[in-house]
Amino acid sequence: MGKKHIMVLGAGLVGSLLSTMLAKKGFKVSLYERRPDMRKTQLDGGRSINLALSKRGLKALEQIGIDHKVKKMCIPMHGRMIHDRAGNLQMQPYGMNGEFINSISRAGLNELLMNEAERNGVKIYFDHKCTDVDFDKPEAKFENEQGEVTVGADFIFGADGAFSALRNAYLKTPLFNYSQQYITAGYKELVIPATPDGDFAIASNALHIWPRGSYMLIALPNLDKSFTVTLFFPMKGQTSFETLSHKEAVQEFFEKEFADATELMPTLVDDFFGNPTSGLVTVRCNPWVKGKTALIGDAAHAIVPFYGQGMNAGFEDCFVLGQLLDKHEDLNRDLLKEYEALRIPDAEAIADLALYNFIEMRDKVADPQFILQKKIEKR
């Protein structure tokens, strides 16, 4: 494969995986990350503490031979556990043949991927914020503690997330299509801790949902037997984050809407006011390749989280790139154009499905007609 020098922007989930894959194929890889090393510094969370890892994502981890390590960090979730207002439970399996998705810690997975990248010779530069990219040279400008540095490479991948600096540079060029759409709901993370005797407070093998029409609560299990709970709720309006503005309002609302969960959340009010409220955005763009640079992961296709497929789709980008590298035996512009042609239609499809699944999760899963229809489809 030669010793081409590849620069990857962003040591998140996708950038770290991509770097490992490229290093395993014989490239010299430099990975630049805006934040300090998360393995040494406690970073303020901000975004989903745990995630659902599916078969699509696992395929890419298998490709680089670390699926067995990752599986040890997973808790299988075999279906949706629906909680109605009265506290009745209904398990809706994900498939007839024991299919499941996996709950995994975002930080744990990211740290493992960074370790793998370094083990395979990737050099990670932390505290380097990319501010601009020249696509043709190609080279990238960074701000770091010393000031500004410019670094060149043979190719540059932008794996720098939903607010990508590489994509921002594309925005200034002609014939670049871009859209960014926030939905009206945002989210806040809360917690159901382990029970005093150290067990899961609710069934661990399910993705729990409290569907309530225009909003919902969900919970995914963690290895320490706690659950990360997420409230997806309107950002503005009569029943919204704006109206849940004081302790009594929050406690009362949760007791009324999610009584069985509230009993298990002793730190609810503190968590509610201590944790950030964040928005949910879909980013679509085209092309993903300019000069000797390409976008990958959320930088190319940020989606809302309701299908649990954002990271999985980014991992699939890496898997497809890996297959193309085996076919072409070198990294060049033709390969990148083929990658783009294969991935953009899939990214468009999952972006639409993810938007639709919010309606299914918050509303339809509790609808008897919908449940009956699903049962008929499975026969």
Where residue 244 falls (left for φ over 0; alpha for ψ -120 to 50; beta otherwise) is beta
Contact predicate 114/42, CB 8 Å: no
Is residue 186 a contact point for ligand FAD (CB under 6 A)? no
Among residues 10, 138, 287, 322, the one that binds ligand FAD under rule CB under 6 A: 10
Is residue 11 a contact point for ligand FAD (CB under 6 A)? yes
Is residue 161 a contact point for ligand FAD (CB under 6 A)? yes
Give the C-alpha separation, 261 to 13, whole Å: 30
Interaction residues for ligand FAD, span 187-216 (CB under 6 A):
187
- Least distance in angstroms from the C-beta of 196 to ligand FAD: 29
- Least distance in angstroms from the C-beta of 255 to ligand FAD: 24
CB under 8 A, 24+ apart: contacts of 167-174? 167/283, 167/285, 167/295, 167/299, 167/300, 169/132, 169/133, 169/135, 170/135, 170/285, 170/290, 170/295, 173/290
| CB closer to ligand FAD, 13 vs 61 | 13
Is residue 63 a contact point for ligand FAD (CB under 6 A)? no
- Least distance in angstroms from the C-beta of 9 to ligand FAD: 5
| CB closer to ligand FAD, 275 vs 309 | 309
- Least distance in angstroms from the C-beta of 226 to ligand FAD: 17
Tell me the C-alpha to C-alpha distance, in Å, between residue 259 and each of 19, 80, 255, 265.
45, 18, 4, 10
Q: How many residues bind ligand FAD (CB under 6 A)?
A: 31
- Least distance in angstroms from the C-beta of 317 to ligand FAD: 9
Rg (CA), the chain: 21
- Least distance in angstroms from the C-beta of 130 to ligand FAD: 4
Is residue 59 a contact point for ligand FAD (CB under 6 A)? no
End-to-end Cα separation, the chain, in angstroms: 49
Among residues 20, 27, 33, 201, the one that binds ligand FAD under rule CB under 6 A: 33
Is residue 159 a contact point for ligand FAD (CB under 6 A)? yes
- Least distance in angstroms from the C-beta of 11 to ligand FAD: 5
56 C-beta neighbours (distance < 10 Å), count: 17
Give the C-alpha separation, 133 to 124, whole Å: 18
- Least distance in angstroms from the C-beta of 220 to ligand FAD: 7
| Continuous segment of H or E residues that includes residue 75 | strand 75-77
Kindly indicate which of the ranges 43-51, 64-72, 116-124, 321-329 contains the residues binding ligand FAD, using the contact rule CB under 6 A: 43-51
Buried/exposed code over 94-110 (b: 16+ C-beta within 10 A; e: otherwise): beeeeebbbbbbbebbb
Residue closest to ligand FAD, measured at CB: 12
| Continuous segment of H or E residues that includes residue 279 | strand 277-286
Interaction residues for ligand FAD, span 280-339 (CB under 6 A):
297-298, 305, 308-312, 314
- Least distance in angstroms from the C-beta of 32 to ligand FAD: 5
Number of H helices, E strands in the chain: 12, 19
| CB closer to ligand FAD, 161 vs 287 | 161
Kindly indicate which of the ranges 23-31, 63-71, 156-164, 370-378 contains the residues binding ligand FAD, using the contact rule CB under 6 A: 156-164
The angle formed by the CA atoms of residues 294, 299 and 304, to the nearest 5 degrees, is 145
**3-class secondary structure, 59:** helix
List residues binding ligand FAD (CB under 6 A): 9-15, 32-35, 47-48, 51-52, 129-130, 159-161, 165, 187, 297-298, 305, 308-312, 314
